[in-house]
Structure 1
Amino acid sequence: MNENLMPIQADKQFTVLIVGGGSAGIAVAARLRRERPSLSIGIIDPSTTHAYQPGWTLVGGGVMSLRETLRQEGGLIPDHVSWLRAAAESFQPDEQIVTLDNGQRVGYRRLILCPGLQLDWDKIEGLPETLGKNGVCSNYSMQHVEYTWTCIQGLNGGTALFTQPPMPIKCAGAPQKIAYLAADFWRKEGVLNRTEVDFLLAGDALFGVAYYRPSLQYAVDYYGINLRYKHNLVAVDGKAKTATFEVTDSANNKSLETRSFDMLHVTPPQSAPDFIKKSPFAGAGGWVDVDPSTLRHTKYDTVFGLGDVIGTSNAKTMAAARAQTPVIVTNVLASLEGRPITASYDGYGACPLTVGYGKVVLAEFLYGGKPAPSFPYDQRKPSRFAWVLKTKIFPHVYWDMMLRGRDLSVPHHPEWVKDAG
């Protein structure tokens, strides 16, 4: 036989192979182990540090320490799950094999893709060179999130710019959350009245779910924040303290506009990981192409996806991954056992919007932006209850329940919206 026609042989073989050891990957592996202890499961992830990223808004706002958001990856891998400390490089779906960057070939019966997304810092000219100094900060960077708090505390008036790139991004509310916390801190310190605060976003809506926008607009007006729609950050000069934006007018004409700043909080452009973009699993925009309900790949029946990497229209949040986890587990097990796939994901996502210290608008919604509150009060109203959820309860749910495979999903109730006052 011609050696070029010989089937690719796997160096290792698993029943379920998971690409990505973040929130989604660990949660799925832990839940699979609990439901089917005999399953052979492998997780591919090169990172040795695991982060609770929803906490980084609080780190940047001086409420939580970075250390509280980090754990060793090895301590989170479930017992009897194999950790392959390498990066996935390419896929051979017809042979059901993943090739790693160390040359190892790993076979699977079912493949689950959840490597998250990538932050494209270098798409903004000059940003990598100045991030973490010159007043340029970002809560999206583990290395520089603490510098956000340094910048907020150190500002004694002047101009503060907060940016948001084109969608999709992870946690679409995060770019504005830190603007509110910063403005609230400056208000309490008595310097907000001599501070120009601008929130510049590439899109044309403050938040994707219209139901919650009035509450956020109230916060914008309360702090005197200037909203600049259709402003996309394209370049930063840290030493000169200038930021250049591509501005799109009502006739869709584009022009460049340069603004001076004393503090600049940047949310970087984001995209599917490069190795996913060039894979057979990529669909529109390079995201993994899955059925939005079953989360199974539209072409390969042995492949599933969840978390930030999939091309569905839900918000890319930890809450979405949490809601997707039982759907994936149920459907993967049904697939392995030859049963019909019946579990369905409804697009649930959540965004606890910190509109001030001790105040959170708890936005929850389904596909199509349909509000889906979990609690019987008007969640558009900023509440201390939701602040306690954000700062105390959700981290506990994440570390001690979701990543342990014993998560109990809180039912959400779209029907409560009609009674909201």
Structure 2
Amino acid sequence: MTSKPEITKLNDAVSVSPQLQLDDVTALAKAGFKSIICNRPDSETGEHPSSAAVAEAAEKSGLQFAYVPAISGAITDQDGEKMAAALAKLPAPTLAYCRSGARSTKLTDMARTASKAASSPATRFNVVIVGGGSAGIATAASMFKRDRKISLAIIDPADDHYYQPGWTMVGGGAFSAEFTHRKEKDLIPARAKWIKSAAASFDPDNNAVTTADGQEIHYDVLIVCPGIKLDWAAIDGLPETLGKNGVTSNYRFDLAPYTFRLVKELTSGTALFTQPPMPIKCAGAPQKAMYLSCSKWEKEGVLANIDVQFHNSGAALFGIKEYVPALMEYIDRYNAHLNLESTLVAVDGPAQIATFEQKHGEETKRVEVKFDMIHVVPPQMAPDFVRSSPLAAESGFVDVDPATLRHVKYANIFSLGDACSAPNAKTMAAVRKQAPIVAVNALAALAGKPPVADYDGYGSCPLTVERGKVVLAEFGYGGKLLPSFPNWLIDGTRPSRLSWLLKDTILPPVYWHGMLKGREWMVKPHRIGAE
């Protein structure tokens, strides 16, 4: 170059220099530059070629040109945005110049900041909720009901949302699968920001969540409710045979219809129903699948031809003793063989053989059972990114105070639903009660105040013992019975047609149009210290 301007490389895309002369342009093209930006106003004092003259020289040399003038000592954010737009449009590498090169350097730095802000949405919110299932959406709706001005983001990658308590009914032929399905986009509260990605890790010391696609989301208050992990692979051979060979599960949307198909087609043989070690979501669902199947076979007159077996890893049919007598009446009525402390460990689908580990006193034996159909419930655990995080208790679930659902270490973190460590039954009814409590406690934390509401461990398990009757189990911490209705209306320890009506007709619309909309019917948060 004849004038030899001092060129400083800022990065691979942009270099800067002092004032260019017209005969410098050809040399810039030979040096590999593709474009030029003039940051010096034509009106600025001193001798220098006009931007139009440099643009003409650039065109003759095959370079593109942009005029982005900025006044020395008075550079604005708008100047930085214009520089960002020019750099985005022009081919790289680009040479930007002004009188000394200082303005061009500053504008390039501002352009980088402006570009980053434009390409990334706001990444700090008053409240961040990890999980867009029933717990996340219900809590968000309850919070907006109380404060419409908060900024709130929900992190969840799913396109679809399911009313999972309905899958037992699908497997029993009472609901269609599609009845339990909605699109996630139609349920996220309008005021919430939906970050459509999976949470990958937590940094509670810096109030941040990192997503699977690399976003770093910051919060004032964090609510963790990503659900529970179904570990299908923990049972040897199970993933390969699910949905065929008579192997099914109501714990998956796509498999619940297969359950009912198997039930309708089976007229004789062996039907196995399994329950893994606790904790699992809806601890009654494994036996509910059995009762509804038996009810169908009884109606069709084929039950006597079917060997029904219930294999439960636990030592009791149900964890709350008050409900066991009614359930045992149905075990006897359906002539189901109850196998306690019997854990499914393997399934050979093509051979239709299930392998169980069964306890006999101090001894554990492996037993193989031939089947015609088997309903499997997989072992369950906290999601991997929760178990490996600083938020996890020894159990792997988010370590919370059972009463306030606030993290035991981090005062601005709460958890509810299947992912939290509270020793309640992991049911939809529990979430319905927990969501308003977490909503008011999280808003209190946002205001720098302690929790104001407490949770009694309430959960409900409508045990569908036959088509048309339900044993409505409702209980809290320590197995305390917590009925929602007077005993003369519904005695939860006995099968009831009214309870079936609740399960079949009332609860689904309560879920879609009440719980997910922040309508807290019969679950107003209990204030700490109140009677």
Identify whether the pair has TM-score above 0.5, normalized to the shorter chain. yes
Question: 8 Å contact 1:397–1:407 — kept in the other structure?
Answer: no
Look up the match of 2:410: 300
Q: Secondary structure at the match of 1:125?
A: coil
Look up the match of 2:398: 288
Which residue identity does 1:398 align to in structure 2?
A: Y
Give the whole-Å Cα distance in 2 for the aligned partners of 1:352 and 1:75.
28
Q: Deviation per CA, 1:77-99, whole angstroms, max 9, x where unpaired?
A: 00110000000001111110100
The structure showing larger relative contact order (alpha-carbon pairs under 8 Å, at least 6 residues apart) is 1
Task: Tell whether 2:507 aligns with 1:394.
Answer: yes
> Which one of the candidate residues 65, 71, 80 is aligned to 2:191?
80
How far is 1:409 from its partner? 1.8
Question: 8 Å contact 2:436–2:524 — kept in the other structure?
Answer: no
How far is 1:10 from its partner? 10
Give the whole-Å Cα distance in 2 for the aligned partners of 1:184 and 1:354.
10
Give the whole-Å Cα distance in 1 for the aligned partners of 2:165 and 2:184.
17
Give the whole-Å Cα distance in 2 for the aligned partners of 1:411 and 1:171.
23
Give the whole-Å Cα distance in 2 for the aligned partners of 1:225 and 1:17.
47
Look up the match of 2:243: 132
Percent of pairs with identical residues: 54
TM-score (ref. length: structure 1) = 0.94
Q: Deviation per CA, 1:166-212, whole angstroms, max 9, x where unpaired?
A: 00000000000010010111011011011100000101010111111
Q: Secondary structure at the match of 1:285?
A: coil
Q: Secondary structure at the match of 2:453?
A: coil
How far is 1:237 from its partner? 0.5
Give the whole-Å Cα distance in 1 for the aligned partners of 2:436 and 2:139.
8
Look up the match of 1:4: none
Which residue identity does 2:516 align to in structure 1?
A: L
Question: 8 Å contact 1:11–1:104 — kept in the other structure?
Answer: no
Q: Secondary structure at the match of 2:328?
A: helix
Task: State the aligned residue count.
Answer: 403
> Which one of the candidate residues 224, 229, 245 is aligned to 2:335?
224
Structure 1: which 5+ runs fail to align?
1-8, 413-421
Look up the match of 2:427: 317
Give the structure with higher Rg (CA). 2
Moved over 4 A (4+): none
Give the whole-Å Cα distance in 1 for the aligned partners of 2:524 and 2:152.
29
> Which one of the candidate residues 196, 202, 205 is aligned to 1:91?
202
Look up the match of 1:70: 181
Question: 8 Å contact 1:27–1:402 — kept in the other structure?
Answer: yes
Look up the match of 2:450: 340
Question: 8 Å contact 2:432–2:523 — kept in the other structure?
Answer: no
How far is 1:342 from its partner? 2.3
Question: 8 Å contact 1:10–1:107 — kept in the other structure?
Answer: no
Question: 8 Å contact 1:374–1:411 — kept in the other structure?
Answer: no
Look up the match of 1:256: 366
> Which one of the candidate residues 311, 324, 327 is aligned to 1:213?
324
How large is the Cα RMSD of the aligned pairs? 1.3
How far is 1:349 from its partner? 0.3
Q: Secondary structure at the match of 1:53?
A: coil
How far is 1:260 from its partner? 0.3
Look up the match of 1:3: none
Give the whole-Å Cα distance in 2 for the aligned partners of 1:170 and 1:271.
10
Q: Secondary structure at the match of 2:426?
A: coil
Q: Report matched runs for 1:403-418 at 5 Å.
A: 403-409=516-522
Look up the match of 1:379: 492
How far is 1:339 from its partner? 2.6
Look up the match of 2:385: 275
> Which one of the candidate residues 154, 157, 175 is aligned to 1:46?
157
Look up the match of 1:176: 287
How far is 1:330 from its partner? 1.1
Q: Deviation per CA, 1:95-133, whole angstroms, max 9, x where unpaired?
A: 101000100100000000000001000000110110001
Question: 8 Å contact 1:11–1:105 — kept in the other structure?
Answer: no
Question: 8 Å contact 2:436–2:523 — kept in the other structure?
Answer: no
How far is 1:284 from its partner? 2.0
Q: Secondary structure at the match of 1:284?
A: coil
How far is 1:262 from its partner? 0.4
How far is 1:143 from its partner? 1.9
Look up the match of 1:121: 232
How far is 1:379 from its partner? 1.4
Q: Report matched runs for 1:18-29 at 5 Å.
A: 18-29=129-140
Q: Secondary structure at the match of 1:243?
A: strand
Q: Report matched runs for 1:121-160 at 5 Å.
A: 121-160=232-271
Question: 8 Å contact 1:10–1:105 — kept in the other structure?
Answer: no
Give the whole-Å Cα distance in 2 for the aligned partners of 1:144 and 1:339.
46
Give the whole-Å Cα distance in 2 for the aligned partners of 1:235 and 1:314.
29
Look up the match of 2:347: 236
Question: 8 Å contact 2:436–2:520 — kept in the other structure?
Answer: no
Which residue identity does 2:463 align to in structure 1?
A: L
